[in-house]
Amino acid sequence: MILNHLWGLYSNPRTEWQQIDRNHENYWYALSHILIIALIPSVCSYYASAQIGWSIGAGDTIRLTHESALFMSLGMYFGLVVGVSSLAMMIHELAEVFDAKPSITQALELAAYTATPLYMVGFACLYPELWFISAVGLVGLAYSIYLLYSGVPILMHIPEEKGFIYASTVVTCGLVLLSVLMAMSVILLNSGSGITYL
């Protein structure tokens, strides 16, 4: 099953990372995990944008037309898949500096399973209040970072001390990548891309 590590990453992450390390699946298995789990925030944000409406502070509820919500959700899906794949490439390229030699599959597994809590935050879109999504997003981000720090020494086969520095470097690259994706979203929204509000 594609999502078979999901519960273990929440209940006992170190043991689950060791199991992932022992039973490396192929590249397509890790990629299919990303493709499936990225549907959560995309579908939930589509529903929230087109059906429920977003509440930002004390102003009116903001809703999009179905076409605009679909356009934004497809863009989000594409951005999430490309973002995690790019993070996997960064993990792979940075490995040599820390005397690790992971395969591209190992790097993709680390990126995919580390990003899973952030993707699960997408369920929070079903209650589209800015304060709620921000709070749940911070929890998801914190847990993703924890998964990264606990998984790097196990999957990359490096000591804990090097793993901490390596994971810190990956977190920095990931935050820069997230900032770039957010900036591209803002540019797209402000460029007159056909977003229509109700």
User: Can you give the pLDDT at residue 163?
Assistant: 83
In a domain, 15, yes or no: yes
Q: Residue 126 belongs to what domain range?
A: 6-190
The model carries a pTM of 0.84
Please count the helices (runs of H) and the strands (runs of E) in the chain. 8, 0
64-83: pLDDT as tens digits? 788 888 888 888 899 889 88
Number of compact structural domains in the chain: 1
For residue 45, what pLDDT is reported? 87
**In this predicted structure, what is the pLDDT of residue 53?**
74
Using CA atoms, how far residue 9 sits from 16, 17, 83, 165, in Å, is 6, 8, 21, 22
User: Do residues 38 and 81 touch, judged by C-beta distance below 8 A?
Assistant: yes
The answer to whether residue 170 is domain-embedded is yes
CA distance 186 to 109: 29
Judge whether 108 and 85 are in contact, CB under 8 Å. yes
On whether residue 77 sits in a domain, the answer given is yes
Looking at residue 197, what is its pLDDT? 64
Residues of the chain with pLDDT under 50: 1
Nearest to 33 by CA among 108, 104, 106, 145: 108
Residue 197 lies in a domain: no
Inside any domain, residue 46: yes
Is 96 part of a structural domain of the chain?
A: yes
In-domain check, residue 195? no
Distances in whole angstroms, Cα of residue 46 to Cα of each of 8, 50, 93: 29, 6, 34
**156 within a domain of the structure (yes/no):** yes
